[in-house]
Structure 1
């Protein structure tokens, strides 16, 4: 989501892409409201195409957020703000729409990732950005099905122990931590769930992708500025916080 970026280092195309992604997300969530809150008959919404649409949104946001850690004045502070917004969304949905409650949603993940990678950035390590980028992508692919109790080894899949996922009728702090990490517990439910794994590796791919691409930042492609889209991209966190109540209100007016 929105990082407070140094204007001298601002790459306008990042804001533009983020703006396009925000618009795509609003449309996707509006369709969700129409289908699940208003009961519209939208069979296409459960198809592979809809899943790819949803994944394209979260992949863009997470990769860009990792990329922008380098452009933020204080990524740890930014992460704390985003994490707090995630807590607010959890509290509001739990109180007002418990049937669509959000636990460990995208803002909770992004805030956590910004803090963790912001701390990593402070460690004086000399790592090759290209190979770190490749390893991050590989780890993301390997852990992508971790919520479903599997790891992807490309030629085969490995089933993870059920003991990591089974609550045995008790859901306590330990189970909640496992769910946060990616081992989604049997009794867990959330309408928006982004665990630390696998998504931290996509965030890291964005973080190291900055190092891979920075030699080319003088290229005009990085400075394409479509002002309306860039404006939306620069205010993505605020728009994210406000869009769902607005969409909910609009959907309630539709007969």
Structure 2
């Protein structure tokens, strides 16, 4: 192997700095979203732009990115069982903290529960040799995600092409974790296995494909802004700390 080939191989097996930058950008977006949410719904500040349609798109851009990237990183992890358990523990900590704080609706089956459950579900599929690993499969899973996006509201499909799911699925609160919440279920941040497992699997499929094809493109390994990558490498810490800091700051300012 020539010196040039060896250097190229080294780059393609190094840290994927692009992923750190994407996570850093997304965690900043999340902090700003929660700042706007707290200002409007907790402190009563009128934000004319922070309305349901805009809120939904902004929220989805954050959570969908986190789930897809978490799926991408499935192929890079040396211990996905431990990784999934860590996510679940963070989700449990968030549930306890939001219940005790009683500032807003407690978080039940939030984004970290989802990433943990999806990681373990993906691991099970992988062990059973059922995890796909191609670009068409990645796109198919992303399309399936969009088709079943309404499962938490009782239907699957898009626009006028929908199928209503049996109401019995939603009559028992014990299936909320799976994606079938009862009429009395409440959560400040709700991301059950369905439909979000499909978004995670879409990322995991692409990540596995890229790894088997020799890695990400060379430009994905180029270092970005250090401060942005730092945030991307510490998203869990930022997630756990940002809301208490925002609430304390707003309490002092308003």
Common topology (TM > 0.5): yes
Describe the shift of the 1:148–1:232 C-alpha distance in structure 2 as closer, same or farther (beyond 3 A): same
- What is the TM-score normalised by the length of structure 2? 0.88
User: Cα RMSD (Å) of the superposition?
Assistant: 2.0
Q: How many residues align?
A: 241
Are 1:246 and 2:245 matched, yes or no?
yes
Shift of 1:213: 3.8
Aligned 1:16-165 pairs, distance under 5 A: 16-97=21-102, 99-124=104-129, 127-152=132-157, 156-165=161-170
Structure 2 distance, partners of 1:76, 1:119, is 10
Q: Work out the CA distance in 1 between the residues paired with 2:104 and 2:60.
A: 23
1:161–1:122 distance in 2 versus 1, CA, 3 Å: closer
Q: Which runs of 5+ in 1 are unaligned?
A: 1-6, 168-174
Q: Verify the 8 A CA contact 1:130 1:211 in the aligned structure 2.
A: no
Give the stretch that moved more between structures: 197-206 or 36-45: 36-45
Match of 1:182 among 171, 179, 188: 179
Question: Given the alignment of the two structures, is residue 198 of structure 1 paired with residue 203 of structure 2, yes or no?
Answer: no
Superimposed CA distance per residue, residues 179-201 of structure 1 (whole angstroms, 9 cap, x where no aligned partner): 11111210000110001000000
> 2:125·2:131 contact (CA, 8 Å) conserved in 1?
no
Of residues 187, 207, 210, the one that matches 1:210 is 207
Runs ≥4 in structure 1, deviation > 3 angstroms?
Answer: 122-128, 211-216
Distance change >3 Å, CA 213–CA 73, structure 1 → 2: closer
Deviation per residue, 1:49-73 (Å, 9 max, x gap):
2221111111110000000011112
Unmatched tracts of structure 2, length 5 or more = 1-11
The 2-side partners of 1:91 and 1:147 are apart by 23
Q: TM-score, normalised by structure 1?
A: 0.87
Structure with greater Cα Rg: 2
Aligned to 2:176, the other structure's residue is in SS state helix
